[in-house]
Amino acid sequence: MEEILTLILLTHNRYKSGFLQSSIKAILKQTYKRFRLIVADNHSIDNTSNFVLSLNDERITYLRQPKRTDQTTNALCAATMCTSKYIGIVHDDDIMEKKFLEKQIKFLLKNPKILCSSTNVKYIDENSQVIQPRLYNLNKNIIFPKTVYIKKYFEEKFWLPTPTMIYERDTYIEVVKKSQKYMKLKHWPGRDINDIFNINLLGSVGIISEPLLRYRQHYRQDSRMINQVDSMKQVLSLFLNQNKKNKLLKEKLHIVYGFFLRMELQTILLNDLKKQKKLMRIKLLLTKWEKYHHGNKNCVDAILPLYIIAYLMKMNYTLPLNQLRLLCKRHHKSGSQLAYRQWLCLRLKNRNLFRNYPNLKNIAIFGSMLTAYLIIEEAITNRIKVIHCYDSSPSRINKVINDVRIISLEKLKKNLKGIDLLVLSNEQDQEIAIKKYIKKYTQTKFNRIISWKDLL
């Protein structure tokens, strides 16, 4: 009987780290045995080919690109070789739990209308130690009907973990080929998120509540090596242009547009522009938004950082109180959505983020994206010095954000004595994992670490 599942393991030069070996070992030890594995080698120059070809398992096929290409092309080459109903696109640095495939296939067969499924994940470090036992605190599996996931993503930044994805093969190939006609991106994260949006336009997508993949966090991750903001802006621009007249998205496009302007804001703030130019461009964004929205449609969480920066920079733009009240009525127990609302409420009352720390003199920030910029602005208004921003992404090291130098997390230990407080600027609820990650670098009992959400 023919297998209904083919796994496509995307890899490039992961042999030396040992990640590739761990990933394949976990795949071959799955309780569900009836699958085919294609190792899609994106022209590795290490010992990848020798290792894969030495594996004595008839389920494995080795496919090597003749020259380096982008990951979507690599995946698509392998997908077109498959005849199975489902394909899983898996990464070479993550580790499946033993029942990953068994539970995914059971979920898909029980819900045949689902076009792609994912699972919750646990975070591990480069040494395979668990640093966060689950990404989401879900108590049941979720199925998002047509277009519902798109709204969920842009309202709550609810990411379906792409390394866990199993797709209906024909749908995957159709969507990816369609995207390739329009997109020139070389960045994998932007493209796979776009694919999920387009799949959700065709039908349901789902997530299993149980963490069935150990998702590795390390400095060599592909997503840490590139500018994700530029990629996401191109994806959103394409998505908006393709769906202007899509009746299914009529009531959701304003949410997507708000998210797009948020990405634009991040580009403006993080670029090396003079303050006057930044102010002009931010005012233009606010004008665009206020012309675009209709009635209560400016109640979009994604746009709140734009209004917060308007308050901090003393611009003449305000979110009407009735709109803010509507946002605050929405159900959020925690997370960045609730935190940004609370922050804007503070600004409306002329209260500062650091109001409960009157003697604070020097802080540092972990992270160097949009929220970090806003925290620096708050610190400036409160006469607090921001010594450095620390980051683990090589693409951001040695850049400057709001006149603050971004340096490697490895240098944190040397600077601890001068730091009164280290503020975490992450938006997703990953504080436990990040604190563990940071303490590996400090190697001390440095406990003056707080999330920006806890300052509110």
Gap between the Cα atoms of 123 and 304, Å rounded:
29
Task: Give residue limits of the domains in the chain.
Answer: 5-223, 252-348, 362-455
pLDDT value of position 117: 97
Q: What is the pLDDT of residue 344?
A: 84
Q: Which CATH number fits domain 5-223: 3.90.1170.50, 3.90.550.10, 3.30.2450.30, 1.10.10.10?
A: 3.90.550.10
Instruction: Identify the bridge partners of residue 118 per DSSP, sorted by sequence position.
Output: 207
Model pLDDT for residues 62-80, shown as the tens digit of each residue? 999 999 988 888 999 999 9
For the chain (length 456 residues), average pLDDT per consecutive 10?
A: 88 94 97 97 95 95 93 92 96 96 97 97 90 91 96 86 96 88 57 88 97 87 64 80 82 84 89 85 88 62 86 77 66 71 84 91 89 93 92 82 87 82 85 77 76 90
The listed CATH number (3.40.50.300, 3.40.50.10470, 3.40.50.720, 2.60.40.10) that belongs to domain 362-455: 3.40.50.720
DSSP 8: E
Q: Are 141 and 107 in contact (CB under 8 A)?
A: yes
Q: Could you tell me if 396 and 223 are in contact, meaning their C-beta atoms sit under 8 angstroms apart?
A: no
Cβ atoms of residues 103 and 183 within 8 Å? no
Residue 184: predicted pLDDT? 58
**CA–CA gap between residue 427 and residue 335 (Å, rounded):** 7
Query: 385-391 and 404-408 as β-strands: parallel, antiparallel, unpaired?
Result: parallel
| pTM, entire model | 0.86
Per-residue DSSP letter, 353: T
Residue with tokens 């604070």: 360
Q: Rounded to whole angstroms, how far apart are CA atoms 393 and 449?
A: 20
pLDDT at 6: 97
